[in-house]
Structure 1
Amino acid sequence: ISNPFIGGADKLPDGVTYTNIPIEFKDLTQLATTIKSPEEAKQFLVDTNRSFVTDPVRRAGFKQVLSDIAASDGVQLFHCTSGKDRTGWTAMLLQSIAGVPAQTIMDDYLLSNTYLQATNEKILAQISQALSPQVATNLEPALGVDASYLEAGLAQIASDYGTVDGYLTEGLGLTPDTIALLKAKLVD
C-alpha cells in the first residue's frame, strides 16, 4: 500500500470510507530478486492472471471487492498498487457484467500502458540506478500490461467455468442478486 516506487500511501479526501481488500501480489522488491529475464516477468503476469481464477484466496478477494461495490452507495473507486493487474481484472469483470464487448474490454485494459508510461519510466530509472540496468530490463514487462496476460486469465475462466458468468457465480460465489445490483449500477 505504501510502496515508495509506486507513489506511497493513498491521499484521501475527508469523508471517504477506505476499505483495504488484500489480494496478495509480489511487490517490485520481491520481483527484483526472483525475475531473471523479461520472459520470466511476462510469464509471472500470465501465471498471475491465471491465479485470479484458480487461487481460492484471490477469488475470495475479488468476491469481496465486487460484493462491496454492489452493496455500497455512491461513487466507488477501486485500485491496486499499479492500477493494472488486480484493478484490470476487476475492471474486466465489471465491464463484462455491464455487457461491454470483449474487444473494448481488451482495448481499455491495454490503455494502462499509455497512462502508466511516464510513471513506469521513472520507476525503471530508479530500479536501474538502485539495483542495475539489467534488473530494470528484466522487470519492464511486469510494469505494463500485455494482451497475453488478460487472455491467460480469460482462457483459465473458459477452462474452469466456461464463461465469465460461470466464474462470477461458481468461482466467486456471487449471487444473481449481487450481479444484478452491479449491472444496475453500471448500466444505469
Structure 2
Amino acid sequence: MNDPGQPTFTAFTGTLRLANGGLETVMQGLRAWRAEHPGRPWVVVRDDTGQVTDLDPDQPLPPMAGPAVPEPAPPGGAPRGVRGRPRLGVVAREVTLLEAHWTWLKAQPGGASATLRRLVEAASHAPDPRETVRLAQARTARAMASLTGDLPGHREALRALQASDATAFRVHVRTWPPDLRDYIFRLAAPAFPGGMRA
C-alpha cells in the first residue's frame, strides 16, 4: 500500500505501461520486466509533476521529496539571534506589503502574524481552482513531451490542453495506445474544470 504522503510513479516501455504506484512497487515492476526483456528501454514518470525520473532497479531507492515537513528544533533550542519561535516551528521571514495591507492586518484579531497564518492555512486547504488547472496543464505537458511527442495529434492535444478544451483534447488523443491515452487523461483531468471522460 502506498504512503499517501509519498509521490507515485508510472513506468512505460514504448506505449505499454509496466508499473504504477509507489517507488518500491515501480522498482519491483521494472526488475521483473527487465528479467524477461533484458536491454529494452523504459521511462518512469513522477505522476504529481509529469517529470521523467531516472531510476536504476539495481541501485538503492533514491530519496523522494514528499510533502514538506518542518525540521525539529535543535536540542537546547535555536541558536541565539534566530528570529521567530523556532522551538514551536515558527520562523521569521520578511513579508513586503502595501501600507493599506498592513493597516488591515493590524486591525484583525490576533494581529498581523496570526491573520497571515490563518489566511495561508485556509488557502492551502482550499487551493485556487485556477492554480489546480495550471498545475495539471504543466504536469500533463511535461509527461506528453516525454511520452507522446511522436504520436499523431500531439501538438493539437497540447493546444487543447492549454485552452482547457476537453472536447478537442479527447478528439486528438483518442487514437493513442490505450495505456498512454488513459495515463494522459488521468494527469490532465483537473485541467478541464467541466470534467472529462476517457
**TM-score, normalised to structure 2's length?**
0.26
Which protein has the bigger helix share?
1
The structure, 1 or 2, with the larger RCO (C-alpha pairs under 8 Å, 6+ apart) is: 1
Look at both structures and tell me which one has the larger radius of gyration over its CA atoms: 2
**TM-score, normalised to structure 1's length?**
0.27
